Structure 1
Amino acid sequence: MSAQNLWFRRYHPAHAPRATLFCFPHAGGSASYYHPMSKALTPEFDILAVQYPGRQDRYGEPLVPSLDALADAIHTVIEPHMRGPVAFFGHSMGSVVAFEVARRLERDGHPAPALLFASGGRAPSRVHDDGVHRRGDAALVAELRAMGGTDARVLTEPDLLELVLPPLRNDYRAIESYRPEADARIDAPIVVMAATDDPRTTEEEARAWHGHTTAGGSVRLFQGGHFYLESQGARVVEVIGGTLRDHLAGRYRPEVVGGQSALGHP
């Protein structure tokens, strides 16, 4: 498998897609988390899920220790796939990885995403060290239970936990040690997607994403916890698909500009 193909998974064929959507997983997550989203949005859109090293079919590869190093690695292989209209979707840690890859593409003058969907994640300026990566295994398992999104059978099976916990701890270390420049921004609009009962990301921390773009954006709130994508899957697909269609038709208009709503209200 080539270096490029190691990083991306296409679960459903898209012969003449209207746009490509790259999906970046959460801490400890893998590309297959986006299989349901791919099924729902293909073939209208080509869905490429990013596969980080150290999990699933890349289990034997070394984990990438920092978020910046992970973004650097993806940046080196993604450009050949950036054909036609492109958008990025990232959930939790994945939203920051997507943001950093977009920054690198813009910096180097390569084609960059036209939209960034930042889901369930604190804005770069709101990321801080909760110390999760320094906790023992039992505390990490408790964190998985609190967040949801993990099959309950995994949490009680030692052999499965042996596969899950190392990449999870590594990814928490990566996001908790991430410190961007104060003026870190991209030129693409950011569509913030946040859950009302997320124990890890407050609505204020999510809305702060609009301080990291020169193009404004919008906010979509969902009922549910950190992994609201599972309970609200149909509406998530509706928001992503509808926003992409509006963008392609020239109808997408940022509702938030410079951290303020386009109507002048915070």
Structure 2
Amino acid sequence: MTGIRPGTAGDWLLIPAPQRGPAFQLFCFPHAGGDATAYTPLAHALAPLAEVRALRMPARGGRHLDPMPSSFDALVRTVAAEVRRYRGGRFGFYGQSLGALLAFEVARALPPGERPELVVVAASEPPQLWAGGIPEERDADSLLRHAGLGELIAAEPELRQLALAAVQRDLDLRRTYRYRSRPPVECDLYAVAGDADPMVGAAQLDGWAELTTGRFGRSIVPGGHLLATVAQPGPVELLASVIGRAPEPLVRELQCSTP
């Protein structure tokens, strides 16, 4: 896949590996403090099956001068409008950690009939459990460590401060989140976590099942808290199978694949 130049769609979407007439568009939502470029390896791994469209969050990277929306609800509304503007044909969502919560709420915010075919949520408890405050062990510094980024940026004080500031902005936004009980979405919903994730385990994924009337799958895959990063593509096999409309026996296998 060398030689493919990244593209953009508006201010909010990075297309790391543009595809000609993609059969499926996968909108990807980054973790707290994360940037759209984290999904570059995933984009190349899924091509040409799917075209990854990664969310470019404000106040970091190429959008460091753009203000963050004032609340989580405002962010959801803005992203939903961008998805409606740029989606075409079959599409789905993938989000990890805080990005999983955002992906699900954007799916709920879209009108019925315009929602994604599937939503894959990684490294995240279901939103019913996000109702309380943020635990102390999930401050900006500890999140960087749990995500495996602490040592990577320890020798770069300026980079570390930028990363901490981005995470803190996202945590401040997350504090404005309020879960609202609504009818389940009709999207297929797949919950996944890494087998070495220090923050989210298999049992915490079960609550996602009640949020959909579509198919539900639960899976544990090799990896830590962040599955897709600039260094690794993430759960490519799982994503490829569900994008390809996996048959029911495979879905049952995914549900039973936890220790």
Q: Give the TM interval when normalised to the shorter protein.
A: 0.7 to 0.9
- Give the structure 2 partner of residue 96 of structure 1: 101
Kindly tell me: are residues 4 and 76 of structure 1, through their superposed partners in 2, closer, same or farther at Cα, counting changes over 3 Å?
farther
Question: In 2, distance between residues paired with 1:9 and 1:24?
Answer: 11
Instruction: Give per-residue Cα distances to partners, 1:15-67, cap 9 Å, x unaligned.
Output: 02111100000010010000000011122211100111011000011123432
Question: In 2, distance between residues paired with 1:119 and 1:65?
Answer: 25
Question: In 1, distance between residues paired with 2:219 and 2:116?
Answer: 19
Residue 41 of structure 1 aligns with an amino acid whose one-letter code is L
Residue 198 of structure 1 aligns with an amino acid whose one-letter code is D
Kindly tell me: are residues 239 and 61 of structure 1, through their superposed partners in 2, closer, same or farther at Cα, counting changes over 3 Å?
same
How many residue pairs get aligned? The number is: 246
- Give the structure 1 partner of residue 187 of structure 2: 188
In the TM superposition, residue 202 of structure 1 has moved relative to its aligned partner by: 2.6
* RMSD of aligned Cα (Å): 2.8
* TM-score computed with the length of structure 2 as normaliser: 0.84
**Higher RCO (C-alpha under 8 Å, 6+ residues apart):** 2
Residue 72 of structure 2 aligns with an amino acid whose one-letter code is L
- Give the structure 2 partner of residue 84 of structure 1: 89
In the TM superposition, residue 254 of structure 1 has moved relative to its aligned partner by: 8.8
In the TM superposition, residue 228 of structure 1 has moved relative to its aligned partner by: 3.6
Kindly tell me: are residues 231 and 105 of structure 1, through their superposed partners in 2, closer, same or farther at Cα, counting changes over 3 Å?
closer
In the TM superposition, residue 180 of structure 1 has moved relative to its aligned partner by: 1.1
- Give the structure 1 partner of residue 4 of structure 2: none
Which secondary structure does the structure 2 equivalent of 1:32 belong to?
A: helix
- Give the structure 1 partner of residue 174 of structure 2: 175
Residue ranges of structure 1 left out of the alignment (5+ in a row): none
Instruction: Give per-residue Cα distances to partners, 1:148-178, cap 9 Å, x unaligned.
Output: 1x26342332211232222201212333442
Residue ranges of structure 2 left out of the alignment (5+ in a row): 1-7
| 1:147 pairs with 2:173 | no
Kindly tell me: are residues 219 and 32 of structure 1, through their superposed partners in 2, closer, same or farther at Cα, counting changes over 3 Å?
same
- Give the structure 1 partner of residue 237 of structure 2: 238
| 1:112 pairs with 2:115 | yes
Between Structure 1 and Structure 2, the one with more helix by share is: 1
* TM-score computed with the length of structure 1 as normaliser: 0.82
Residue pair 1:218, 1:254 contacting (<8 A) in 2 also: no
Residue pair 1:20, 1:45 contacting (<8 A) in 2 also: yes
| 1:66 pairs with 2:63 | no
